[in-house]
């Protein structure tokens, strides 16, 4: 955030997103960046490595760093991103409908997913309406010992906003699993399923900075509207 390499990273990301740096453009060399930002080489390299990791640039030894033509920003992207952040980027006409908000004893399988003892959980069921159609069903389960309070307003806006900005929780990482399953009665009831009989299910376990699990989520998508984009670098360690 305030670290030098993060500021340089954010500066370059915004230049790429604003198209001030275009695909195939050559960045300044590391030595030129050193002069421009008045920092050491390793600091520049941290920023550039982050850009490479996230698919913005490709570094080529002996040649330089080049902007990639991966327009990840037209679509949903991998990573840990909230629905609100996404719909903002996509410029879609989206509404969130709160179907259920309840502090309750967890069902057995939720208890298992969240490794709970006797804590209660918040169950939040929300329907995402995009361009007039109910497309996504989000079912969230949050450990009430971590998240003591929730209300309708928070759920309709963004739970993560509240947790990060108000509660200062440090949401750190998630394990996500994508599968395709038969639609349930609940899916048919809450979503505009047309003639589809399957849904894409994204199950997430979300962890705080101290590696504690606090949230389990099932995000159920009508198959024709589901899209997941991933940028992957190849590992050749072994």
Partner DNA sequence: GAGTGGTCTAGACCACTTG
Partner DNA sequence: AAGTGGTCTAGACCACTCG
Q: Which stretch binds DNA (CB under 7 A): 39-47, 78-86, 176-184, 197-205?
A: 39-47
For a second copy, the closer CB: 103 or 204: 204
Q: Contact between 25 and DNA (CB under 7 A)?
A: no
C-beta atoms surrounding 232 within 10 Å: 7
Q: Is 171 in the site for a second copy (CB under 8 A)?
A: yes
Judged by CB under 7 A, does residue 6 bind DNA? yes
Residue 70 in the binding site for a second copy (CB under 8 A): yes
What is the rounded distance in angstroms from the CA atom of residue 141 to the CA atom of residue 206?
Answer: 10
Binding residues for a second copy, rule CB under 8 A, total: 51
CA 177 to chain centre: 13
Mapping DSSP to helix (H, G, I), strand (E, B) and coil, where does residue 96 land?
A: strand
If contact means CB under 5 to 8 A according to the sort of partner, which of DNA, a second copy, none does residue 120 touch? Answer: none
Minimal distance, residue 14 CB to a second copy, in Å: 9
Cβ burial 106-120 (10 Å sphere, 16+ → b, else e): beeebbebbebeeee
Residue with token string 């903002």? 88
What number of other Cβ atoms are within 10 A of residue 7's Cβ? 14
Task: Give the nearer residue to DNA in terms of CB position, either 14 or 40.
Answer: 40
Beta-bridged to residue 138, according to DSSP, are 126, 219
CA distance 234 to 147: 38
Identify the sign of the CA torsion 15, 88, 178, 131: negative
**10 lies in the site for DNA, by CB under 7 A:** no
Helix (H, G, I), strand (E, B) or coil at 12: helix
Residue from 8, 9, 56, 136 that binds a second copy (CB under 8 A)? Answer: 9
- CB 51 to DNA: min, Å: 11
- Closest listed residue to residue 103, CA positions, set 151, 31, 35: 151
Q: Which residues from 43-62 bind DNA, rule CB under 7 A? A: 43, 45-46, 48, 59-62
Applying CB under 7 A, does 15 fall inside the site for DNA? no
Residues that bind DNA (CB under 7 A): 3-6, 27, 29-32, 38-43, 45-46, 48, 59-65
Residues that bind a second copy (CB under 8 A): 1, 6, 9-10, 13, 42, 53, 55, 58, 60, 63, 66, 68, 70, 72, 75, 78-80, 164, 171-180, 198, 200, 207, 209-211, 223-224, 226-238
């Amino acid at each position: 955030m305030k670290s030098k390499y993060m500021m340089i990273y954010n500066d370059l990301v915004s230049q790429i997103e604003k198209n001030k740096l275009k695909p195939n453009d050559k960045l300044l060399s590391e030595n030129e960046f050193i002069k421009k930002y008045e920092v050491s080489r390793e600091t520049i390299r941290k920023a550039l490595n982050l850009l490479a990791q996230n698919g913005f640039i490709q570094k080529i030894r002996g040649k330089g760093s080049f902007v990639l033509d991966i327009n990840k920003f037209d679509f949903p992207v991998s990573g840990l991103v909230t629905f609100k952040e996404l719909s903002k980027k996509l410029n879609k006409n989206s509404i969130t409908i709160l179907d259920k908000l309840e502090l309750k004893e967890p069902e057995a399988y939720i208890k298992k997913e969240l490794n709970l003892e006797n804590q209660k959980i918040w169950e939040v069921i929300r329907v995402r309406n995009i361009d007039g159609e109910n497309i996504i069903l989000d079912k969230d389960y949050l450990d009430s010992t971590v998240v003591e309070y929730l209300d309708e307003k928070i759920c309709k806006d963004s739970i993560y906003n509240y947790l990060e900005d108000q509660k200062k929780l440090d949401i750190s990482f998630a394990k996500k699993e994508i599968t395709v399953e038969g639609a349930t009665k609940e899916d048919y009831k809450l979503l505009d399923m047309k003639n589809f009989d399957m849904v894409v299910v994204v199950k997430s376990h979300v962890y705080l900075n101290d590696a504690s699990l606090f949230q389990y989520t099932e995000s159920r998508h009508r198959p024709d509207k589901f899209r997941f984009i991933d940028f992957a670098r190849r590992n050749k360690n072994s």
